[in-house]
Amino acid sequence: MNNAKYIGINNTFRKEKVGRGLLVDATTIKTLPMLIAFAIWAVSILLYFFAPNEYSYKYCVLIFIVYLISSIWIIRRTVINKNYFNFHTLFLISFLFVNFIYPIFLYPVSPTYFSVFKKSFDETVITKATALAVLGSSSYILGVSICLRKKYPPPIQRKIKTEKLQYLLSYLVYFIFAVILCFTGKEIILGRFGSTSTIPPGLLAIFQVTIGVAVILELGRKKYNGSIFSYIRRINKSILVLFFFYVFLFLYVGDRGPAIQIILITLCAFSLLVLPIKWKGLIFIVLAGMLILTFIGYARSKNITASEAGVNNFISRGAAKFEVNSVVDIGMDLIVNNRNLYVGYDYANKNGLSYGKSMIRYLFAPFPGIPGFTTYVLFDSTPNDLSSGTIITDISHSTYGLGSNIVIDLYMGFGLIGVVFFMFLLGFAVIKLQIKAHQRIKFGYVIGYIFLVAYSIYLPRSTVFEPLRHILWAIGLFYFLKEFAFKLFPHKDRALVIK
C-alpha cells in the first residue's frame, strides 16, 4: 500500500502517503479541510457575537488576522495545476480591500483619507460590521471546503476545432460593436467620460458576452509552443484587433468595468486552457492592473473639447494628477465601498430587512423586461429603486452612485442568516464550477467559470447574483451558435468537436 495512488474522481483516495510513510484513508483527507473550515467559521461566529458596539482597533486587528489566515489557507487549497489565477484568489484580494483596509490602516490615522468617508456614518458599528464581513468570508470558505481534494484528475483532452463558429462570432461581434459606436457617436472618440452611458445596457451585455465567448474559443484551440509572441501572432486577427481596440476605447473614456471584464476573461482563459499563471505572475498582474486603473481614473474627464482630445492629452492629464503615496491609493476604488458596509448595517438594524427585494433585478436579469415587470407588479417600484446601492446612495444624500457591498446587500435582505447561507452557496457553486471547468467535461462549464472569474474583483462591492445574466447568456450563445454552425455547414467538417 505504500504505492497508493490517485485513481479517479469519486472518492478517489484509498490511502494517501502523508509525511514519513504515514498513511491516512480517503475519509480523513476529504473531511480534514471541512473541519478546518468549520473551525474558522465557528471562530468567526464568536467574533461577531462578542464584537463590541464601538470601534476597537485591537478587535479589528484580531478579525483581520483571522481573515488573512483563512484566506491564505483556502487560496493554497484551491490552486489546481499550479494556476493561481482563479476566482478565489481574485475575489478574496478584492474582499480584503473592500472590507478590511479602512478599519485597520485608515480609520485610526486618517478617517477621511478618501472624500467619501467625509459623508456621515455611525462609526460605532465599524467593529461589528467588520466582524460580519469576516463571517461572510468564512461562510464562503466553508462552502468551498466541501469539494476540496488533495489532487484533481487531469483535464480531458478534447480536440477543439472552431473555425466555422469563429466566422459567425467575428461577423456578429463586429456588427454589434458598430451599433454601439452609433450610440456613443463622437463623444467616445473624444474620450469624454460618461459617453458610454448612452449604450443600452442589454446591448452592451450582448457585446461583452459575444466577444468574451469568441476570445475563449480562440484561446482554447491554439497550442502554446513556448513563446507568448508566437502564440499571439497565431490568434485570429479579426478577434485580436477588435479586442485591443475595444479595451483601449473603453479605458480611454474611463469606463473601466467592461475593459476589466474582457481582460479578466482573456487572462483566465489563457491560464485555464493554455498555460497556468503562477503566483509571481499573479502578483505582477494585480499590481500592474491596479496602477493602470488608478492612472485611468485620474486621466478621465467629462469636460473635453476637441482640442483637448487625443491620447497625448489623455496621458498628460493622468500624469499631472497621478499621485500614489501608499498602497491604499491604488486600491481606492475598492476601499471606498467599505463605507457601504457600515451604512447598510446601521440601516438594516434600524429599518428592518427587505427580504430579497434587491435580488429580483439580478435573478431575473437574464430575461429582458421581467425584472421591471416583477418589481412593478409586486412592489409598484423599479428594480433600481429597490437595490441596496440606491438605498445607501439616497440616505447618504450623494449626487453620485456609491455602489453596494456583497455582505451588506445580503444582510439588508435576510440578516445574519442570509449572509451565512448565500456566501456559503457562492463558495460551493464556485468550487464546483472551477473543478468542472478544469476537467473540461463540457465546454459550457469552461465558459461559465471564466465569465464568473470576470466578476471576481467586482463582486465584493456588488451583489451575489450580479454575474448571472452574463454567465447564462454566454453559455446559451455558445450552444446556440454551435448548433447553428452545424446546420449552416452540413456537408463540411463539423464546426466543433467539443461538448
Residue type, 246: Y
The CA-based angle 245-254-181, given to 5 degrees, is 45
Radius of gyration of the chain (CA): 24
Strand partners, 192: 301
- 394: helix, coil or strand? helix
171: amino acid identity, one letter: Y
Per-residue pLDDT 10s for the chain (499 aa) are 444 433 333 333 344 444 444 444 444 456 888 899 999 999 999 999 999 999 999 999 999 999 999 999 999 999 998 899 999 999 999 999 999 999 999 999 999 999 899 999 999 999 999 999 999 999 999 999 988 877 777 777 666 566 777 778 888 999 999 999 888 877 787 777 777 888 898 899 999 999 999 999 888 876 777 777 778 888 888 888 899 999 888 888 878 888 999 999 999 999 998 889 998 899 999 888 888 888 777 766 666 655 555 566 667 766 666 676 777 888 888 999 999 999 999 999 999 998 888 888 888 888 888 888 888 888 888 888 888 989 999 998 888 788 899 999 999 999 999 999 999 999 999 999 999 999 887 889 999 999 999 999 999 999 999 999 999 999 999 888 887 766 665 545 444 445 5
Instruction: Name the phi and psi angles at 22, rounded to 5.
Output: -75, 130
Helix (H, G, I), strand (E, B) or coil at 10: coil
- Give the distance from CA 271 to its chain's centroid: 16
Domain boundaries, the chain: 163-329+468-488
Determine the length of the chain: 499
Please list the residues that pair with 301 across neighbouring strands.
Answer: 192
104 touches 461 (CB < 8 A): no
| Cβ 455 vs Cβ 466: under 8 Å | yes
pLDDT tens column, 427-472: 999 999 999 999 887 889 999 999 999 999 999 999 999 999 999 9
- The phi, psi pair for 337, rounded to 5°, reads -75, -10
Count of C-beta atoms within a 10 Å radius of residue 304: 20
